């Protein structure tokens, strides 16, 4: 069992990521080659049991829009996705590394929606946390939704519109591996109003950021530090790699492209890339 298997994902700790893609089969080839992920043919979710998942169709990461409001209008779409389940033809798939779940890939149900990676933060109570997001000036994109017996999910947005997910675990706690090559390592929020972001996330996830022994897995930067000023605020999911430049070359070889060439940060060397279907993410050498 990997070092960070699960039980101790406190509130505000990133615990899962998923990608909404036009072509899941192409995504399996791309990420399998890049990170060494495997996609066992099975009808079980990341927790190793019944259909559905906390990380793909059951978690409607790209559906809805930040302006949806408190009740969120994307819940019905998410519920329909959850019923499809992992292992169903054309359905979502769990990516594994060393036999442990590390991410999921899901088909986009609506071509108008963005092709994106979404990060999910752990919580013991998705309904209560969604209420706190709303009270702090954020939006609830998709209201909390049970996903079989795996957990409860919601999609929310901060006051500037950066979308992220909430995950209240039951049978699926989250990552089976992280912080090692080929797995989630960091999430960076690129914000335009950094003071508002500091207040919002500092209040929402205070213990994960500032509590005793806190070792945050996410940070905040200004949009202008790595992206054009007109880029909307957003999270960038970072995957750890052995060597940043080599990973970038592999991305290009597989049909992806470089959005931001390798640069040094306080948490390692980073390059922001785009996969062969348009989903942006980062590779991190540390």
Residue 6 covered by a domain:
no
The verdict on residue 94 lying in a domain is yes
Output the pLDDT for position 85: 54
Query: Does 133 or 78 have the greater pLDDT score?
Result: 133
Same-domain status, 66 and 151: yes
Residue 21 shares a structural domain with residue 135: yes
Cβ–Cβ contacts within 10 Å for residue 8, how many? Answer: 9
Whether 159 and 225 map to the same domain: the answer is no
Question: Rounded to whole angstroms, what are the CA distances from 77 to 60, 68, 74?
Answer: 8, 13, 5
Q: What is the domain-level CATH number for residue 196?
A: 3.10.180.10
What six digits make up the tokens of 45? 């979710």
Please provide the DSSP assignment of 97-128 as one string: ETTEEEEEEEE-S-TTS--EEEEEEE-S-HHH
Give the largest Cα separation in the chain, rounded: 46
Q: Residue 119: which of 52, 169, 184, 57 has the closest Cα?
A: 184
- The DSSP output letter for 79 is H
Q: Tell me which residue range forms the domain holding 84.
A: 14-169
Q: To which H or E segment does residue 31 belong?
A: helix 24-35
Residues 70 and 199 in one domain: no
CA dist list (Å): 70 to 62, 75, 134, 137, 175: 17, 12, 7, 11, 28
Structure tokens at 92: 């979502």
pLDDT tens readout for residues 233-261: 999 999 999 999 999 999 999 999 999 99
Res 73 pLDDT > 70: no
What percentage of the chain exceeds 70 in pLDDT? 79
Highest mean pLDDT among 33-47, 49-63, 194-208: 194-208
Q: Which residue bears the tokens 């992920």?
A: 37
Which pair of structure tokens corresponds to residue 267? 């948490």
Q: Are residues 44 and 113 in the same domain?
A: yes
Identify the weakest region by mean pLDDT among 72-76, 153-157, 173-177.
Answer: 72-76
**pLDDT at residue 275 tops 90:** yes
**Rounded to the nearest 10 degrees, how much is the dihedral formed by the CA atoms of 40, 46, 47, 53?**
-130
Q: How remote is the C-alpha of 139 from its chain's centroid?
A: 18
């Amino acid at each position: 069992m990997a070092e960070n298997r699960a039980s101790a994902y406190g509130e505000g700790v990133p615990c899962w990521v998923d990608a909404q893609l036009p072509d899941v089969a192409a995504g399996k080839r791309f990420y399998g080659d890049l990170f060494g992920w495997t996609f066992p043919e099975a009808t079980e979710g990341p927790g190793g049991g019944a259909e559905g998942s906390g990380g793909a169709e059951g978690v409607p990461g790209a559906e809805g829009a930040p302006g949806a409001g408190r009740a969120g209008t994307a819940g019905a779409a998410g519920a329909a996705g959850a019923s499809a389940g992992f292992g169903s033809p054309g359905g979502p798939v769990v990516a594994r590394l060393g036999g442990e779940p590390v991410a999921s890939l899901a088909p986009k149900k609506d071509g108008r929606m963005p092709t994106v990676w979404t990060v999910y933060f752990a919580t013991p109570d998705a309904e209560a946390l969604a209420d706190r997001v709303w009270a702090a000036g954020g939006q609830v994109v998709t209201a909390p939704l049970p996903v079989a017996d795996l957990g409860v999910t919601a999609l929310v947005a901060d006051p500037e519109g950066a979308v992220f997910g909430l995950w209240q675990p039951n049978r699926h706690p989250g990552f089976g591996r992280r912080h090692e090559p080929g797995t989630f390592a960091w999430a960076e929020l690129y914000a335009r109003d950094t003071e508002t972001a500091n207040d919002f996330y500092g209040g929402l996830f205070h213990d994960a950021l500032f509590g005793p022994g806190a070792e945050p897995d996410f940070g905040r930067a200004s949009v202008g530090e790595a992206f054009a000023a007109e880029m909307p605020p957003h999270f960038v999911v970072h995957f750890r790699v052995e060597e940043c430049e080599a990973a970038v070359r592999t991305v290009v070889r597989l049909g992806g492209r470089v959005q931001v060439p390798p640069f040094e940060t306080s948490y390692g060397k980073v390059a922001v890339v785009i996969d062969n279907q348009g989903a942006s993410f980062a590779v991190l050498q540390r």
